[in-house]
């Protein structure tokens, strides 16, 4: 068997019905992994699942709001009822900050909404997944993968987007802490930091000629990222090949941060 063969493994991808999450889900299914897509939009979930019906991995879709702990608990139970186990959890669901309002004009409502989705949502999902993984490890089956979608905003100064940057920087710290705490259970924890990626969230920016003219020259590979660019790292992290690789922040940005 290939070291990257994921046959029999099960992964949850929150926000897996589009963008980076869908790119991750498609790659995992193609490698034999069974996948449970969690998203708030049932129709979008269904459409995403249709793109992967040829397998070889199986696909399940669940309506879930990660800001609601009860919704996460219900989705986890349903996923376990369907597949019997969860080996990996990709906490990808999140919202963008837009970068249009100055920090001194930021409302507390906007601040709280951002943290409720991008940080509290990951807390809910990771806690549910880690509980299952540690219980399974104590029964003699040590294996688990926790992966959070962070952002370059966590390492750059992002004006007018401090609330977004704050949530993503917190995810980096969370992943490192969990890597230390859960290592004894065979669970690794890592963060992925995407650069400028084509998605519904960034469609407005990608269609702005001024933005493209300013940003593209700073990307050495001279293109924006695609959701499929995250398939390889997802398969690697779910596989046995990454068993000794934990507490890392993977920058996938076409060289943007290096130039």
For residue 173, the model assigns a pLDDT of: 98
Tell me whether residue 164 is one of the annotated catalytic residues: yes
117 is written with which tokens? 């989705």
Catalytic entry in 164, 244, 256, 259 = 164
Sign of CA dihedral 218, 219, 222, 226: negative
3-class state of residue 35 by DSSP: strand
Q: Is the peptide bond before 125 cis (omega within 30 degrees of 0)?
A: no
Residue with tokens 């669901």: 93
Measuring CA to CA, which residue among 237, 75, 92, 100 is closest to residue 158?
100
Tens of pLDDT along the chain (259 residues) come to: 589 999 999 999 999 999 999 999 999 999 999 999 999 999 999 999 999 999 899 999 999 999 999 999 999 999 999 999 999 999 999 999 877 899 999 999 999 999 999 999 999 999 999 999 999 999 999 999 999 999 999 999 999 999 999 999 999 999 999 999 999 999 999 999 999 999 888 888 899 999 999 999 999 999 999 999 999 999 999 999 999 999 999 999 999 999 9
Give the residue among 26, 91, 47, 58 at the shortest CA–CA distance from 231: 26
Set out the domains of the chain in order of their start, with CATH numbers.
10-258 (3.40.50.720)
d(CA 81, CA 99): 41
Please state the pTM of the whole predicted model.
Answer: 0.97
């Amino acid at each position: 068997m290939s070291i990257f063969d994921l046959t029999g493994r099960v992964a949850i991808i929150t926000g897996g019905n589009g963008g980076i999450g869908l790119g991750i889900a498609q790659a995992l299914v193609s490698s034999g992994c069974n996948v449970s897509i969690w998203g708030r939009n049932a129709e979008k979930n269904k459409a995403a699942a249709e793109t992967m019906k040829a397998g070889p991995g199986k696909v399940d879709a669940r309506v879930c709001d990660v800001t609601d702990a009860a919704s996460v608990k219900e989705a986890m139970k349903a996923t376990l009822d369907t597949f019997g186990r969860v080996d990996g959890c990709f906490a990808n669901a999140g919202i963008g900050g837009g970068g249009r309002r100055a920090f001194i004009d930021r409302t507390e409502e906007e601040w709280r909404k951002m943290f409720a989705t991008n940080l509290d949502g990951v807390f809910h999902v990771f806690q549910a997944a880690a509980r299952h993984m540690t219980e399974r490890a104590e029964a003699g089956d040590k294996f688990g993968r926790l992966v959070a979608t962070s952002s370059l905003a966590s390492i750059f100064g992002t004006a007018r987007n401090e609330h977004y940057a704050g949530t993503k920087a917190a995810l980096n710290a969370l992943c490192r802490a969990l890597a230390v705490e859960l290592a004894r259970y065979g669970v690794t924890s890592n963060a992925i930091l995407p650069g400028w990626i084509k998605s519904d969230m960034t469609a407005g920016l990608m269609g702005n000629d001024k933005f493209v003219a300013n940003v593209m020259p700073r990307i050495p590979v001279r293109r924006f990222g695609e959701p499929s660019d995250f398939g390889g790292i997802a398969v690697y992290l779910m596989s046995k090949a990454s068993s000794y690789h934990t507490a890392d922040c993977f920058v996938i940005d076409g060289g943007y941060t290096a130039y």
